[in-house]
Structure 1
Amino acid sequence: MLVSETVANVLNLPHLRLELFAGEGGLQRTVSWAHASDLDSPWDWMAGGELLMRNGRTLPRDGRAQAKLLHGCADAGASGIVIGEDHQTPPLTDELAAAAEERALAVLTVPYSVSFAALARAVADATSGEAPVRVGQIERIYGALRDALGGRTGESPTARLGRDLGCRLLLLDTSTGNPVEPAAPAPEDALRSALLAEVRAHDGRIPGVLHVPLADGTTALAVEVPAEEPTVLLAVRLPGADTSLLHHLATAAAVETAHQGMLREHERRLGGELLARLFDMGIDATAADRELAAAGIDPARAVVMAAQSDDSAGQRDLHLALGRRRIPHLLLRSGELLYALVGDAWPGIEAVRQKLGPDAALGVSAAAGTPGRLPAARREAVWALSLARKAPGRISRYGEETTFTVLRSTEEAQVLVDRVLGPLLAYDAHHGTELTASLETFLQHRRSWQRTAAALSVHKQTVMYRMQRVEQLTGRTLAETADITDLWLAFQARALLSGAPTPASPRSSDASGSAG
């Protein structure tokens, strides 16, 4: 700082009528600005150098609580504390005085008649000489951002600004501590652990400024960066610990993060197109191996996940969450389902569950093994998804023990469909009829001629004729419980194989006859 305004200088301004209560050893601390706060933990919004102004009526009455307030401010690098006196101000305790002397942090009092605005203005006037420096720093921030996004440099704005300001800046994912930019160097383990520990200590909610203690006894500062995924900008050895400058940096980081998000969205779309071709066998084996290797996915370990969720925002940002966790993946939205090919099963499952929420149903295939088996893995994932909707935790892996003992695999399901519905499907395909759909509607409407006719928008006699033809082709009678069960299970299997919602079970009370 060009201007070295101290607590002693502020104390000696006669028009403020300040008095020293305790902490004479802190009078030479440098003041950057005055900051008013009545929060229980004002240090969460400090970067260092602030003169905290506190209304007396909000001061804790307990001596230990007063000392805790002082220790918290000292840890955050505050320059001092000013307590406004009024008729509700509790007595300043010996514990507060002892803490002030121990930490060399001055505690001042100001009369009720002197406004905090006057004190803040006095500090601002005294430190106005550093304004040109701050303006120059802010110009560098947005100049670096403009150059980087304009393609004039291959260096990220965060990296360039850290070099220009003589500090270290890291743009990190809050959940993992990984860099937002995949090519950026990862923080060392100790720094990452310290950041994540502080985030956990605040229950994942980043305050105004997060203080991260470092092994060398110094403190790094982190602020939240607006982004789709939780993000922080971590500053190590920031000059002057200027919170205003820090938040300007966070604004620039938010633009950089949004730019990264657009690049990731482009990658997601390309990945979706690749996964669609892999599912449809629209790519030869050699090209499939090459494309999967480029995506970092080993088919021998990869699994297909099918998810059904109402969380559109979670689905939209899932590729960012997986990317920040360094989980190789491809995503494809098809109809009502979201498919994910993830290179590592359990970390991928955990990330998808966390992003889509506990209400999402997740089905997981067996290991793909080879690119050629991905269509089968997709069917397995859909099969598992149908079971996950009714499973504890709403997640199921293909091949796990289930209550659907008659439908244990996609192969068995296909056999059942071919055996029971095969004649109907073949007849419809050859003649352009809708017997299969009519039968499914008939069963869904509890074999009521009238309700089925209304649903199909045809005459009741048409429904009766179609069901007679169904009985002829399938060799089954719609008045027999056993035949109804076979037909319903076949439709259940067909829905599982296609990924469509499974048809409702006919009620047992209707098993022996149809309603008119």
Structure 2
Amino acid sequence: MRATVADVLNLPHLRLGLFAGAAGLDRTVSWAHASDLDSPWDWMAGGELLMRNGRTLPSDGSAQAALLHRCADAGASGIVIGEDSQMPALRGELAAAAEERTLAVLTASYSVSFAAVARAVADANSGEDSARFGQIERIYGVLRDSLGGGVGDSPTARLGRDLGCRLLLLDTSTGHPVDPTAPEPDSVLRQALIAGIEAHDGRIPGVLHLQPAGHTTALAVEVPAEEPTVLVAVDLPGMDTSLLHHLATAAAVETAHQAMVREHERRLGAELLAHLLDTRIDPPAASRELTAARLAPAHTVVVAAHHDDGPGQRDIHLTLSRRRIPHLLLKRGSLFLALLRDAPRDLDALRHKLGPGTALGVSTTVGSPERIPMARREAVWALSLARAAPDGCARYGDETTYTVLRSIEEAQSVTDRVLGPLLTYDAAHGTDLTATLEAFLQHRRSWQRTAAALNVHKQTVMYRIQRVEQLTGRTLAETADITELWIAFQARALLSGAPTP
């Protein structure tokens, strides 16, 4: 049987005194917990004897009472205040709060260390260790079964049944289960979780105490994972924080398994999107696959961004899956492509995960599977214009400040008509006439600066430009010809999604 506050108070070598709250002396003590933090209740799960240095106490009586009320709400067994020379007077408001909440307030002499109090509590509870070890063994036994390929409920569901409580593995931002097949928590608990996290500026303390209506207790602890995750224990029997964190360790393994499942789904989705872009799947089969993916072409768009190796793009499939957002993702060359529903919520989730500095290009509505390759070109076109947009996002067909080229068709026509001979010649002969011309225009038609940029001799640049003039039928001495060539390079960049020169 666990020790009580009275048992600790009556240990003569500790020389503890009772300040107030005698009615709470029969509370059981799980362990002694020393903390001088402003909010020690954020790291308490219930049953702790909080030990606090007197100098860290507020001097105001109402603030002392508030500290006691918050500890009582967190399930503390009692409070030990270490006396020292800078300790403020213990106020009447503290005593009144202790009597009201039946929470004992003890005082410890300056010569008694908190380590001695903690050791005394541990010794008094040594008979309870075997029961705790049994609980821990059950936790890791369930984990072994899961890793061994055992079938049935998830580890958290099994542990909840074994321990006589309800365990939920939830996404921190949305409150949805990490496993899409798991039942949703009731809205009251979900809102309490989100509100509790917001109250801590989006961070999870050691133990987050929730107070949803209709539940006796609800505690949340952070679970290490790629995406912010919490384990919520509802109506948890009297257990200590260490056991709760053992549960979180088991939940982390389940979260990692879910991440593997989502990664497999992402790979299948990338393969499907690649087939759709390359028209390697017939329209009826494409329609069936998109219906199964919950992506109706009539309400779907292609989104393009520049590919990077940051966590935003690495884990985007986890973010979208946890928010129940249907998607197909593909990284191809320098581009990151997504097929999403044309819905503000879905696009906002993508933008938030990728970060505010990421430019996005959005196509018009796909309409039919056969039009997905064209939608991809529209998204890439819009991506080239997105850098000039105020919010870094551009949608194909919307009015932009770039009015010379108004569509993909116009850009392709200009590119083929003006640069086509150069591109064909370079492809056939392995030359760099197109790149030389672009560098020459970028360096204000300076032979010397162009030669330095290309790391060739000036005479080589002069020879190449002469050949350019012969192939294109244009001369770089004429303003009209220079303008036409420059617009053609703008069109080529827009078609590729590269930054416009």
SS across alignment from 2:184: coil
TM-aligned CA deviation for residue 394 of structure 1: 1.2
CA distance, structure 1, for counterparts of residue 181 and residue 147 of structure 2:
16
TM-aligned CA deviation for residue 454 of structure 1: 4.2
Task: Answer yes or no: is 1:33 the counterpart of 2:31.
Answer: yes
Map 1:202-281 → 2, pairs under 5 A: 202-216=200-214, 218-281=216-279
Is contact 2:411-2:491 (8 Å) kept?
A: yes
CA distance, structure 1, for counterparts of residue 254 and residue 85 of structure 2:
50
Give the letter for the 1:104 counterpart. Answer: T
1:485 corresponds to: 483
TM-aligned CA deviation for residue 68 of structure 1: 1.2
CA distance, structure 2, for counterparts of residue 405 and residue 101 of structure 1:
76
CA distance, structure 2, for counterparts of residue 262 and residue 241 of structure 1:
31
Is contact 1:414-1:493 (8 Å) kept?
A: yes
CA distance, structure 2, for counterparts of residue 79 and residue 184 of structure 1:
35
CA distance, structure 1, for counterparts of residue 121 and residue 190 of structure 2:
36
SS across alignment from 2:297: coil
1:448 corresponds to: 446
Give the letter for the 1:10 counterpart. Answer: V
Is contact 1:53-1:84 (8 Å) kept?
A: yes
TM-aligned CA deviation for residue 130 of structure 1: 1.6
Query: Which structure 2 residue ranges, 5 or more long, are not aligned?
Result: none
CA distance, structure 1, for counterparts of residue 388 and residue 349 of structure 2:
21
CA distance, structure 2, for counterparts of residue 216 and residue 178 of structure 1:
19
How many matched pairs? 501
2:471 corresponds to: 473
1:294 corresponds to: 292
Give the letter for the 1:25 counterpart. Answer: A
Of 135, 138, 141, 1:137 maps to: 135
Is contact 2:217-2:236 (8 Å) kept?
A: no
TM-aligned CA deviation for residue 131 of structure 1: 1.1
Give the letter for the 2:496 counterpart. Answer: S
Task: Answer yes or no: is 1:170 the counterpart of 2:168.
Answer: yes
2:416 corresponds to: 418
1:88 corresponds to: 86
Give the letter for the 1:171 counterpart. Answer: L
Is contact 1:275-1:332 (8 Å) kept?
A: yes
TM-aligned CA deviation for residue 427 of structure 1: 4.0
Give the letter for the 2:177 counterpart. Answer: P
CA distance, structure 2, for counterparts of residue 208 and residue 174 of structure 1:
15
Task: Answer yes or no: is 1:20 the counterpart of 2:18.
Answer: yes
TM-aligned CA deviation for residue 349 of structure 1: 1.8
Is contact 1:303-1:345 (8 Å) kept?
A: no
Q: Which moved more, 1:214-223 or 1:429-438?
A: 429-438
Q: Could you list the per-position Cα deviations for residues 405-439 of structure 1 after superposition, in whole angstroms to 9, with x for gaps in the alignment?
A: 11222122112212322333344445554432322
2:494 corresponds to: 496
Query: Which structure 1 residue ranges, 5 or more long, are not aligned?
Result: 504-516
CA distance, structure 2, for counterparts of residue 100 and residue 344 of structure 1:
57
Is contact 1:56-1:83 (8 Å) kept?
A: yes
Task: Answer yes or no: is 1:435 the counterpart of 2:429.
Answer: no
CA distance, structure 2, for counterparts of residue 255 and residue 475 of structure 1:
67
Of 4, 29, 42, 1:44 maps to: 42
1:513 corresponds to: none
Is contact 1:301-1:344 (8 Å) kept?
A: yes
TM-aligned CA deviation for residue 173 of structure 1: 0.3
Task: Answer yes or no: is 1:319 the counterpart of 2:332.
Answer: no
2:100 corresponds to: 102
Task: Answer yes or no: is 1:179 the counterpart of 2:177.
Answer: yes
TM-aligned CA deviation for residue 263 of structure 1: 2.0
SS across alignment from 2:339: strand
2:366 corresponds to: 368
Is contact 2:215-2:234 (8 Å) kept?
A: no
TM-aligned CA deviation for residue 278 of structure 1: 1.2
Cα separation, partners in 2 of 1:312 and 1:194, compared to 1, 3 Å: same
CA distance, structure 1, for counterparts of residue 86 and residue 331 of structure 2:
62
SS across alignment from 2:170: strand
Is contact 1:310-1:360 (8 Å) kept?
A: no
Give the letter for the 1:286 counterpart. Answer: P
Of 61, 68, 74, 1:70 maps to: 68
TM-aligned CA deviation for residue 308 of structure 1: 2.7
SS across alignment from 2:28: coil
Same amino acid, percent of matched pairs:
76
Is contact 1:148-1:155 (8 Å) kept?
A: no
2:144 corresponds to: 146
CA distance, structure 1, for counterparts of residue 210 and residue 483 of structure 2:
64
Q: Which moved more, 1:179-188 or 1:37-46?
A: 179-188
SS across alignment from 2:445: coil
Give the letter for the 2:31 counterpart. Answer: W
Q: Which moved more, 1:441-450 or 1:57-66?
A: 441-450
CA distance, structure 2, for counterparts of residue 480 and residue 266 of structure 1:
57
Cα separation, partners in 2 of 1:251 and 1:344, compared to 1, 3 Å: farther
TM-aligned CA deviation for residue 266 of structure 1: 2.1
TM-aligned CA deviation for residue 468 of structure 1: 2.6
Q: Which moved more, 1:116-125 or 1:429-438?
A: 429-438
Cα separation, partners in 2 of 1:258 and 1:217, compared to 1, 3 Å: closer
Of 6, 9, 23, 2:7 maps to: 9
Is contact 2:2-2:128 (8 Å) kept?
A: no
Of 339, 342, 356, 2:340 maps to: 342
TM-aligned CA deviation for residue 200 of structure 1: 0.7
Is contact 1:311-1:356 (8 Å) kept?
A: no
SS across alignment from 2:298: coil
CA distance, structure 2, for counterparts of residue 153 and residue 428 of structure 1:
60
Is contact 1:309-1:359 (8 Å) kept?
A: no
Cα separation, partners in 2 of 1:457 and 1:21, compared to 1, 3 Å: closer
SS across alignment from 2:299: coil
TM-score, length-scaled by structure 1:
0.93
Give the letter for the 2:150 counterpart. Answer: R
Is contact 2:45-2:75 (8 Å) kept?
A: yes
Cα separation, partners in 2 of 1:311 and 1:391, compared to 1, 3 Å: farther
CA distance, structure 1, for counterparts of residue 123 and residue 180 of structure 2:
44
TM-aligned CA deviation for residue 476 of structure 1: 2.4
Q: Could you list the per-position Cα deviations for residues 212-239 of structure 1 after superposition, in whole angstroms to 9, with x for gaps in the alignment?
A: 1121252200000011100000001112
CA distance, structure 2, for counterparts of residue 489 and residue 368 of structure 1:
28
2:53 corresponds to: 55
Cα separation, partners in 2 of 1:354 and 1:123, compared to 1, 3 Å: same
Task: Answer yes or no: is 1:332 the counterpart of 2:330.
Answer: yes
Q: Which moved more, 1:272-281 or 1:319-328?
A: 272-281
CA distance, structure 2, for counterparts of residue 344 and residue 253 of structure 1:
34
